[in-house]
Chains A and B, each alone.
Chain A
């Protein structure tokens, strides 16, 4: 039976995360500045959300890709300034796939230690350990180490302290740091080498949760502006009664629903399908979401009108969040090219999966 919907436990997780995310989220730039990230992170750890991708005794993740999607969507919707994607999913999944020592994974699950993945300068993939100049540690708040790949398969970690400089990126809720140090002599190898299927699985999950974060932001942004359209009056009428506004919002809703359907399937496939199929589903979800998310964010700013373009307003925070989500692990064009390769066979030009 096709069950494309959340089951009861997943529904409960969504509700729980909805209220948790509400308490750690942001509504304007001041909230972000004043946010107690440590407290928020501890709350996620206590709820067990940071250890979802840590493997249990049988080698299976304790939480599914769908669970991770639910968490990412809630935190994206709340504009939470917490490194859930970067640390609890992208980094922890890599560590778990490589079979990192149990105590290291336990500290990650407890929220006691964070890693950030070092991405290539264009953010499309994991940086090579021998070419870290300009690499970007994504979602690096409080991460002591960055993860990179040596020889395309050995996972290594390098200290970020002193070697990576925080950079003000577009997104005000997640931190980026640019690696400026020399190639470290003391890169520490972790676990066993990753095979190509491991990396496909990692990428499939990563693309999916990044897209889920954007879906959360899209939905929350749309909900907010639809509520506003019922209060704001112009020409003696609620602006939400104007068909021009209604159709813009309806199109945004279609984008939200379509992106969400693609992301849900990709999240299920991340654990349940063959790596190649999971990767196709993930690139499909990312390609759709990467282009739809900015469309929705722009619609939302337009419907708010002037106020939606001010610094103190929430609208640009959604746009900023999805601008970063669009790029992490490759933009829409990147994912479309991978979809083409997976369906039509390898195309021209060198690019990594």
Chain B
């Protein structure tokens, strides 16, 4: 057991910190609106790429550096602690999906621009009738006379749908197969006729995600990723695979938020109150529990073990930590949260709520732990 950086990692971290101090955009949090933020994120992605920080754990042949996932974790950690936007989240798992399941043509065509950020991607997974129960998705991809696929349906929670160039889409290609088996994955140009993204404004008032309507969208057959029916497998393995290192960014972000809340408490003269001190300490403890659980998960990854259902522990810890942190923030600013005097706290509170919903709700995570870690029996009806 050793929680220290190796000399190489420490040197990398120091270089990265210097680079971030000089290059992280300081105007991100204060950016006027979502369009402005999206533009900053695009430039940020390119900046990280030019400095050699994207796809570090990718194989060399696909433009990576064959480094340990620890370097991605350090990147996420340091970027999370800086003023910059987060590390572009989908690059690693999309990259893994494409270089693991894609054809040579896919790899040549999509990997370089994915890495550089020249092409921005979104994921078309969830639907109005398929959230936690993702495999219930109904969007259909049917072959036409010329052998292309024609897609019809509606996708929900497509983050950045309105700003993306391409989409990793899950659609049902075999309605007669069992629900997990009839799904295929596609790589789709968002400029294809028939695709209509519409922003979804979330409870905090921001259009952070979108719904996307797919009406007779034609996808050339060679843009299927993997084999027909392999879509569920591709989506699940790649998404699970990329959790660990990216989670580290949320943790340094959590620590940054906690610091800000501690400063708020100090500025309001509350840090002498015993109950405030205990709650701030509890928020720190919950953050540490999350950080150290993720460190264990990352260590498993580094030691070559495939990620598994134990990732649900981290998701539950993260939801709990972040949500109780904003309960604390609400209590500290009191009426200011509702009289418009502390809009950041109110917005942060509403952003913390769906954490226990997206990426698999807390209830689903508990099911997964009970079934796959504790080996508790699933009822026949739930199969």
Contacts and interface: CB of A to CB of B under 8 A. Distances in A.
Interface string A8-31: 001000000000000000000000
A3 B280 contact: no
B289 A240 contact: no
B376 A240 contact: yes
Max chain B Cβ within 10 angstroms of own Cβ: one of A3, A7, A226, A259:
A3
Interface in A297-347: 333, 336-337, 339-340, 343-344, 347
Chain A residues touching B, majority SS: helix
Given A247-B366, A284-B288, A226 B277 contact: no
A2 B3 contact: yes
Contacts of B346: none
A249 interface: yes
Contacts of A10: 1
A230 B363 CA distance: 21
Given A238-B377, A254-B317, A257-B313, A2 B295 contact: yes
Nearest to A238: B377
A262 B377 contact: no
Contacts of B4: 272
B367 interface: yes
B369 A253 contact: yes
A183 interface: no
Interface string A249-260: 111011001110
Given A254-B316, A343-B284, A4 B296 contact: yes
Contacts of A340: 277-278, 280-281
B274 interface: yes
Q: Size range of the interface on B?
A: 35 or more
Interface string B175-213: 000000000000000000000000000000000000000
A48 to B, nearest CB: 20
A253 to B, nearest CB: 6
A58 interface: no
B301 to A, nearest CB: 10
B240 interface: no
B7 to A, nearest CB: 11
A249 B370 contact: yes
Max chain B Cβ within 10 angstroms of own Cβ: one of A1, A6, A288, A333:
A1
A258 B9 contact: no
Contacts of A269: 3
B34 to A, nearest CB: 34
B262 interface: yes
B73 A2 contact: yes
B284 A254 contact: no
Interface residues of A, number: 50
B378 interface: yes
Interface string B289-303: 110110110111011
Given A250-B370, A265-B292, A348-B274, A1 B2 contact: yes
B377 A336 contact: no
A349 B288 CA distance: 26
A281 to B, nearest CB: 8
Contacts of A272: 2-4
Interface of B: 1-6, 9, 68, 70, 73, 262, 266, 271-272, 274, 277-278, 280-282, 284-286, 288-290, 292-293, 295-296, 298-300, 302-303, 310, 313, 316-317, 363, 365-367, 369-371, 373-379
10 closest residue pairs by CB, A with B: A246-B370, A261-B292, A340-B277, A250-B366, A258-B289, A339-B281, A4-B295, A250-B369, A336-B281, A340-B281
22 contacts: A1-B302, A3-B2, A5-B300, A230-B377, A246-B376, A247-B366, A249-B370, A254-B369, A257-B293, A258-B317, A262-B288, A262-B289, A262-B292, A264-B296, A268-B2, A268-B3, A288-B289, A336-B277, A336-B281, A337-B277, A344-B271, A349-B274
Interface of A: 1-7, 10, 66, 226, 229-230, 237-238, 240-241, 243, 245-247, 249-251, 253-254, 257-259, 261-262, 264-265, 267-269, 272, 281, 284, 287-288, 333, 336-337, 339-340, 343-344, 347-349
